[in-house]
Each structure stands twice: as C-alpha cells, then as structure tokens.
Structure 1
Amino acid sequence: MVRLASNTESKNLTFVLQFLLLGFTDDPELQSLIFSLFLFIYLVTILGNLLIILVISFESPLHTPMYFFLSHLSFNDICCSTVTVIKMLVNIQANDQSITYTACLTQLFFALVFAYFENFLLAVMAYDRYVAICYPLMYNIIMKPNLCVLLSLFSVFISVIGALMHTLMVQRLSFCTNLEIPHFFCELVQVIKLSCSDTLIDHIMLFVATCVLGGVPLCGIIYSYYHIVSTVLRIASLEGKCKAFSTCGTHLTVVSLFYGAGSILSISSALSALPRKSAVASVMYSVFPQMINPFIYSLRNKDMKIAIRNLLSSIMSLE
C-alpha cells in the first residue's frame, strides 16, 4: 500500500490502494481513437520485432554477434511496449483510469529496466561495429560468443540494479491527496512529483543514474563512432568506404532515433507547463522507436532482406 499524507499534517497517515493514470485526454470520442491507434502501434511493434527474432533464429548466416544483439534489442522493444501500452489499452477499454500501487511500482520498475537495457544494448552494438571496422582481422577472436553473452548479462544486471534502486526510493515516499498521474503509464518523474515527502535524494539519484546509466553508454557510442569514422576515412577506395558505412548505418539510425526521441522528451518536459504534453512527447521515446526499429533493420539491411525473403519462401514451400 502507498502512504497518503495530508499537506498540512504529514503525521496523520492513511492508506490508499491506487493511483489514477489520466492518459492523453478525457474526451470519450478521442479515447476511442487513441485506443485504436495504440492497438495498431502495439500490434505492429510485436509482429515486426517477432519477425526479426524469428529470422535471426532460423537463418544461419545471421548467427553473428551483430544479429545476436539485434535479437535482444527486438525482444527488449517487445517488452518495453508491453509494459507501457497494455495497461493503457485495458484502462481505456474498461473506462477505468486506476492502477494499483503495486502494479504502478511494478510498471515503473520494468519500464526503467527496459529503457536502461536499450541504452546498454545500443552501446554494445556500437562496440561490435567498432571492432568489425577498426579490427576486422581480430573480429572473430574478440567477439566470441562467450563475450557476447557476458555483455548482454552485464547490461541486464546493471539495468535491474538501477531500476531497483529507483523503485525502492519511491517506495519510501509519502503521497498527497492528489494521486493523479498525468501520463499513460507510471513514469518515474511524474510519480515523484506527487509525493509530499522530501524528494531531494530521489532527484539526485535520478540525475546520477541518468548520467551513469544513460551518459556512459552514449559516450561509448560516440567514442566507437569517432574511431569508426576515422578508420573509414583512411580507406582509399570509395566502394570500401560505402561498404564500411553500410555495416553500421542501420545501427546509427536507431541510435539517432532513440536518443533524439529522448532529447525531445526532456526538452518538452522542461518547457511545457501542461503535464499531459509530456505524455504525448514520451510516446516518441517509449512507443514510437520500438515500432520503427524493425522497419529500419529490415528495409535498410541487405542481409536482413535476403533472410526475410528466404524465410518466407521456406514457409510458403511448406504450404
């Protein structure tokens, strides 16, 4: 249960069982439109990322470190969309904005885990491209299967620790009589804003976690691409340069989309006086990239397009 404290006398604590997720609007007609739109986005996200996972699993030419990490990214995108979108769809369908305290903390925890994990995955994928382009003769020696598994497990471990730390800090907070979250899921910053407790430590931890769990992977990506670009520019032939850039073009597009959407969310939250506008901006970060990623990797990647055609041909031949 969540502690509820009055603004004037924090010693008088009672207990409540739920928050209210206000979502995007209270208009019933727009609610139906939003339900249809997000259901479509969710289905496209699930089907697109499942296709990526199946293709990588069944096509042996794709059993390489790069596609190993890509399959993890697709799985993470499925989980991220499920955590943030499903509850909103259920609430709209049931015409009920409530979410229990336990469910809210659970949603907050897993949303943070998958957001942090995506940061680290993108950094690991950048490192993979760095080794492939800067040290091509050493690639198979460096990027061994054991190292790939360890990098993934380490990324999961750090992500869980970071998310658990935030969740435990939120659990110690007391909350005021206003339990309305102007968002479509239990987003950490919005939950902290509802508290009547001193949230200085929470904000410090949020800043530190953003710098460490978000900034360090981003610095790793920038460092990797700095050396990638430097190496490619030293290649004499134009064809060689194009081939080298094509191997990391899709990943760079996904990185730009992910961090660009995160920047839009941060700027919107800082400048907007209307809390619900940040909910709209968060769609660009927590929903849209997860839907677009499969299209980027399938349409801009020659190997993926060939593998998808081969898989579809195999399925049709069985029929």
Structure 2
Amino acid sequence: MAGGASTPALAAAVSEAGGLGFLAAGYKTAAAMREDIDATRRLTSRPFGMNVFMPSLDEVDAPAVAAYRDRLAPEAERLGVAPGTPAARDDDYDAKIADLLDDPPAFVSFTFGRPAPEVVRAFQGRGTVVIVTVTTVDEARSSGDADALCVQGSEAGAHRGSFTNTLDGALPLRTLLRRVRDATSRPLIATGGLATARDVAEVLSLGAVAAQAGTAFVRCPESGASAVHKAALADPRFTSTAMTRAFSGRPARGLVNRFLIEHSAHAPAAYPDVHHVTSPLRKAAAAQDDPDTVNLWAGESFREATDAPAAQVAAALAGR
C-alpha cells in the first residue's frame, strides 16, 4: 500500500483491532519512514510491521524509457504538468535498513526480492520477524532464512511482489499456496484478493497461518488513498482489473481505465524509471479528480471494499 494508502492511523487501527497493521516504506525517505513508525507508536502499543521495497535490479533500456516519456507528453500537457524524469533507483534502501536496525518494529517484510543473509540475521538478532514476499515456488525456495513467507497470488492489487520484473509463473492464490506449502515448512501468510471472512477461513484451511488484505482497507477513513481512488472502487463504471506496467514499469493490478488501456502495451519493463516519469501525471490527475489518468490499484475482489472504519473491516475479515 505504498504511495499514499498506508498511514500510521490505518496500521494502528488494524493492530488495535487484533490484526497486524503494516506501514509502507516504499517511495519514502528513511526519515519519513521513521516519522511513520514514531506516529504509529503514539497510536498503539501493539505490534506492527514495516514493508520495504528491495532496490530495482532491472536492466533499463534508456531509449525505451525516453520514448515512453515522449508518448506521455500530450497527457502531461492536458494536465498542466511535465512528465517526470528517471531518478534514484534504490528507494533509499541502505538508509532505511540502517534506520530500522537501530530501532526496529516487531516485523519487517520485503517486496521485490530477498534481503542479503546478513541483513536477515541482523534483524533476527534484534528480535524482529523477517518476512519475504514470494510469487512462485522457486522464489519461496530461494528466499533465504526469512522467518515467514508472504505468498502473493495473481489476484492481488497493486504491484506483483516478484523477485524479477515479470509475470512469469503467475498463479491464483489458492493454487500457489498449496504448491508453496508443499515446498517449505515455514509459516505462510496468504494474500491476493482476500476480502471476506470466508476467504480468510479458506486460506487458513489450506495451510496459511495468516491472511493479508490490502484493497479491503483502501476505502477506510484511516486510509491515505486519494479521494478519486476511493471513489473509483465503488464506481459502477469500473468493472474489472488488469495487470499493467503503464504507471510504474512493473506489473501491477489496477482498475481498467483509459490510461491503462491506451498505454499498457507501450510501457517498458523499467522500474522505478516509469514510476518517476508518470508521477507528476498521476499526482495532477488525482488533484483534478480524473480517474482515467491515475493508477487505481485494486485486487480482483475490489467490489467487497467498503468505507467502514479499519477496525470494523478487520473484525469482519476475522469473522467477528
């Protein structure tokens, strides 16, 4: 839920309700990440976690990125902005790890790859539980000494948390969960299109120790998602989701809108370069209440999302 939806208020509310709230470090500086941790601690004394993006390893075709930037120039002009330019590709990773190790939360999870073994051991030495997101059985087998795995099915909203910038091997959650369960004895957290107590009960019956939800919380008042994003999840004009690289250069699932349809086929596999290019457009579109030009990340069960408080959503997922 990086990029806005994740807030201290949301993470704290979920933890206070008996769940395990998570913050998102993605797209933030180490200092901003620490501010979120401090704010969450002021709101709850219960455990919570922080999710960290691994630095991109993409071999970028710079001319392809430049061509895509040129393609988006008319979109930018219509919105009154200029396309962005590629910037740092490491998401302030080293500074974030140093900061987290100095004063870690109870859980730290990693997306887009696995951290170095010494990083895992350092967190474990501080008593922090390390979780790695996996999208295939091979990733599960190569996830190092992580304490637990977050098994992400193809139904999940937003970015596919794969180790490489690809859709290879994408499987629905129930199938993937069974296969990963057969390949490892580590605790598994299931995620991808989970929006009801029935969904949660099903993945627990398949061997998961916990269920993770994202889209289910996007419309909550504690969520920092934009008003246009929250409204789109309930807008009958949007009827389906699809995977796209159009907004970030990495496969991510969102509501099918005009921008996704017109630009998906032309977006290079270049993350976070494309993310930087489209950032001014997305911000302007959100400010102008333009749902057809902004990324509307959503899992396949997006219609189940409500605007209820996060504590109520957490309780409903738990069957309470």
Coarse TM-score class (shorter-chain normalised): under 0.3
The TM-score, its normalising length taken from structure 2, stands at: 0.25
Larger relative helix fraction: 1
Q: Which protein shows a greater Rg? A: 1
Larger relative strand fraction: 2
